[in-house]
Structure formats: structure tokens, C-alpha cells
Amino acid sequence: MTDPRTPGEPGTDRRASELHGAESHSPESQVTDTPDGQRRILTPGTPNPRREFLRSAALFTATAGALGGGLELLTRRPGVGSAEAQAADPFSRAVRPLGPYDTDEKVTPYQQATTYNNFYEFGTDKSDPARLAGSLKTRPWTVRIDGEVRKPMTVDIDTLQSWFPLEDRIYRMRCVEGWSMVMPWLGFPLAALIRRLEPTGKAKYVQFTALLDPKQFPGQRQPVLKWPYVEGLRLDEALHPLAFMAVGLHGRALPGQNGAPLRLVVPWKYGFKNIKSVVRITLTEKQPQTTWALAAPQEYGFYANVNPAVPHPRWSQATERRIGEVGRRKTLPFNGYADEVAGLYRGMDLRKNF
């Protein structure tokens, strides 16, 4: 605020000199800006008060608007959709009794589950996927199956889907960023698919690869991550009855922003393990190099089991916000599925294998 040359009152000199200049007859002050001969000539140097007021008002509005608008442009990232849209919710709990793996917690409304997504193939903002998913063509779609299987093949998504009866699963989903949802998926157990593929004796891991196509996935034009997105599970994890391949959500086909037409769901792991828009499933002998573990190995591990006791290096994992709630809830080990899956990791140091 203060001018370094004039400690105390900023700009005092200047203001005084300008005022002085206005009173004395500088060459400039003799120029009058009266329009035609309508009025008498103004006193030299005295501004037309009306004009001055209009000019100041215009500059005031323009400046306030420019600063406010500029700040909005820089910082505001409006979400998609509005509160009204949340009213229509296609999924109804009453349709069927809960299965053994379902949670009875309140399901996240369709509107929220489909407008708040991490799907960097569309962009890094949570609203990018919902906004841009229209560019993803989910039919025709094939899935390549290869690696340590008896019969490698490329199969059409509709054929693949027809191999299994579709099931509902209501799972918790916990993002590594500290928020969670309850998602009513539609799909089939991953174990059923793996068994059908007849893995060879060498198969130890399952690797999933997502679609690579910058035309459909604008986010892939930026090297934010190493594309295509790759995820993987140990074979025994993949064969666990909770591991699921989803093709639908809320009783309808999976929207593009949620990973259409085929995505992985492993509810006891952080959300980024749930690879979306899968085009290839490979059984491997070696542990797959997964995308986030490659991007930041000190922050994201291969296992990525939800664990409140192991903080992310930059933030705590002890609590989470359930989308739609105001406060925070405590995060549970294995996202509340410890009874089912803790046995998979017996004897392992989960701090090391985070």
C-alpha cells in the first residue's frame, strides 16, 4: 500500500501535486471538452462533474466485473447437474431382498454416482467424465483375453455378458482421496469369468487393461498418467467372491463416466483399483505394473487395500466423507469387508504392502 519513497501516507505528494497542477494553469488544463457550443466553456482544468461521475461508474463496474469474473474463471469449477435432478432415482431397494454381500447402507443417488467421478481418461476434474462421456462408444466393443489361459480369444462384450446371469451387488466404494459412495452394481463375479477362461498352472495374477484411444478419451491427450490404464489383482484376490465385473449401475447399463461397458469392482480396495472400460484381461505369472503404482510408487501400492492405519503420505486415511453426508465417518479396515477378505493377506505386512 505504501510507496517506498514516501513512508507514511502513500502517494501523498503525488495527489498534492496533481491538485496543484489542476489549479494552476498547465497547458493541458486549457483544453475544454465541452461538446458543441451548447454550453459555456468550463473553467479550465475543472472536470465536468456529470461526465466524471459516469466515467467513474463505468470504470467501477468494469473493474469489479473483470476482477470478479476473472477470479470465477480461475477458481470456479461447477459440478454437473443440479439438486432437482437428484429426485429421479432409478434404483429401488424394494426390488429384491439383500444378498449376502450387499450392504444395507443408504445407496448413493444415481445423480451423484454419475456426476462425481475420477476417470482421468476424460480429465482430472470430477465433473469431466459426466460432461465428456458422450465421446465414448461402447458398442461394438471387444475384450481380448490372453496370457496364461488355455484358449486366448477376443470376445464381443455382449457375448461375454451372455455367459453369466447378471447379479446385483450393493457395495461400498472408498476413494483413496477420502470420500466414499454406496453403489448398486449389476454384473457377474470375476471368479466365474476367470474359471471359464481356464487359467494355466503358471497364472498367478490377473492384469486388466483399459481402452487406449485419445479420440474417445480426451484426457489421454495429456500425459497425466501412463496410458493405457492398467490394473491387476493376485489370482486368489480375483477369485474371491466379492471381486466383481460390473456392466450396470442402478439397474441400468453402466454410464460411460462409470466405466462402460465393463469395469472391475473390488470393494475392499481403494477406488483406483476398479479399472474402467476394460478391453483386455491377461493372466500373468508376474505381478502387473499398475498405473498408479507406476505414477507414484511411494503413495500407491499394488495392493491398495483400504486401511485407516496406513496414511497416504500426504493425507490421513482414518476418515472419509460419504457423499451426501456432511460430517466424516471412520474408515474401516478393508472398507468394512475384513471378515471376508482379511484371510487373503494373513502373514503379510500391510504397512509394507500398502
Sequence-distant contacts of 238-242: CB under 8 A, at least 24 apart? 238/190, 238/191, 238/194, 238/206, 239/190, 239/191, 239/194, 239/195, 240/191, 240/340, 240/341, 240/344, 241/101, 241/189, 241/191, 241/340, 242/101, 242/171, 242/266, 242/267, 242/268, 242/337, 242/340, 242/341
Cβ contact 114:258 at 8 Å = yes
Which CB, 136 or 176, lies closer to another protein?
A: 176
d(CA 121, CA 211): 9
Q: Does residue 23 bind another protein (CB under 8 A)? A: no
Residue 150 labelled as part of a binding site: no
Nearer to another protein, 177 or 340 (CB): 177
Q: Is 145 known to sit in a ligand binding site?
A: no
**321 among the known binding-site residues?**
no
The reply on whether position 102 binds another protein by CB under 8 A is no
Pull the grid cell for residue 37: 457550443
Which residue, among 188, 264, 251, 237, has the nearest Cα to 337 in the 3D structure? 237
121 labelled ligand-binding: yes
Task: Report how far apart, in Å, the C-alpha atoms of 353 and of each of 185, 273, 317, 345, 347 are.
Answer: 28, 15, 16, 10, 11
* The one among 23, 25, 51, 63 contacting another protein by CB under 8 A: 63
Please identify, using beta-carbon distances, which residue of 296 and 309 lies nearer to another protein.
296
Residues of span 264-303 touching another protein by CB under 8 A: 295-296
For the chain, give me the number of helices (H) and strands (E)? 9, 12
CB-nearer residue toward another protein: 195 or 328: 328
Rounded distance between C-alpha atoms, residue 101 and residue 179, angstroms: 21
Determine if 179 is a binding residue for another protein (CB under 8 A).
yes
Interatomic CA distance for residues 265 and 242, integer angstroms: 8
Among residues 18, 156, 198, 236, the one that binds another protein under rule CB under 8 A: 18
Residues 320-339 contacting another protein, CB under 8 A: 321, 323-324, 326-328
Binding region for another protein (CB under 8 A) out of 94-102, 115-123, 153-161, 229-237 = 115-123
117 is in an annotated binding site: yes
Contact stretch for another protein (CB under 8 A) within 96-104, 172-180, 184-192, 256-264? 172-180
Nearer to another protein, 174 or 240 (CB): 174
275 is in an annotated binding site: yes
Amino acid sitting at position 138:
T
| Nearest Cα to Cα of residue 228 among 277, 182, 301, 175 | 277
Residues within window 30-59 making contact with another protein, judged by CB under 8 A: 47, 52, 55-57, 59
Is 48 marked as a binding-site residue?
Answer: no
Nearest distance in Å: CB 257, another protein: 12
According to the binding rule CB under 8 A, does residue 348 interact with another protein? no
At closest approach, how far in Å is the CB of 28 from another protein?
Answer: 7
Determine contact, residues 284/145, Cβ cutoff 8 Å: no
Distance (Å, whole) CA 43 – CA 170: 82
Contacts with another protein by CB under 8 A: the residue count is: 77
User: Is 258 labelled as part of a ligand binding site?
Assistant: yes
Q: What is the phi/psi pair of residue 99, to 5°?
A: -85, 175
**How near is the Cβ of 84 to another protein at its closest, in Å?**
8
110 is a contact residue toward another protein (CB under 8 A): no
Please state the residue numbers annotated as binding site for Mo-molybdopterin. 117, 120-121, 175, 258, 263, 274-276
Please state the residue numbers annotated as binding site. 117, 120-121, 175, 258, 263, 274-276
